[in-house]
Amino acid sequence: MDIVKKLNDMRLRRNMSVYRLAEMSGLNQSTLANTFSRGVVPSIENLGAMCEAMGVTLAQFFCDEEEKDLLTPQEKRLIGAYRQLTPEVRQAIVDLASACSDLR
């Protein structure tokens, strides 16, 4: 698995600039620039921060593509939109979804 390529593909699918990813992950922009422009594989800690900023777990990052296809198109769309939100808005959505499920 080409970790740097997969990270870059994920970032581009989310229309995230390196600057935005740095901002959302809390990592230095030069660290990310080294990853994407020079192909430097990030530490597991930095990889985790980038994955979290893009809304995926490390387990999801390392799973096979076939496993990702278990989601419906609507679920994929929802997750894609969620991943582009700020952490604060993500938390508000989680809180709302939890409140709604408690009503059932």
Least confident of 2-16, 38-52, 59-73: 59-73
Output the average pLDDT for the chain: 87
State how far the Cα of 51 lies from the Cα of 49, in Å rounded to an integer: 5
Banded pLDDT at 59 (limits 50, 70, 90): confident
The residue behind tokens 């997750």 is 79
Total Cβ atoms within 10 A of residue 50: 26
Q: Where are the alpha helices (DSSP H) in 42-86?
A: 44-53, 58-62, 65-68, 73-83
- Sketch out the chain's domains with CATH numbers: 3-102 (1.10.260.40)
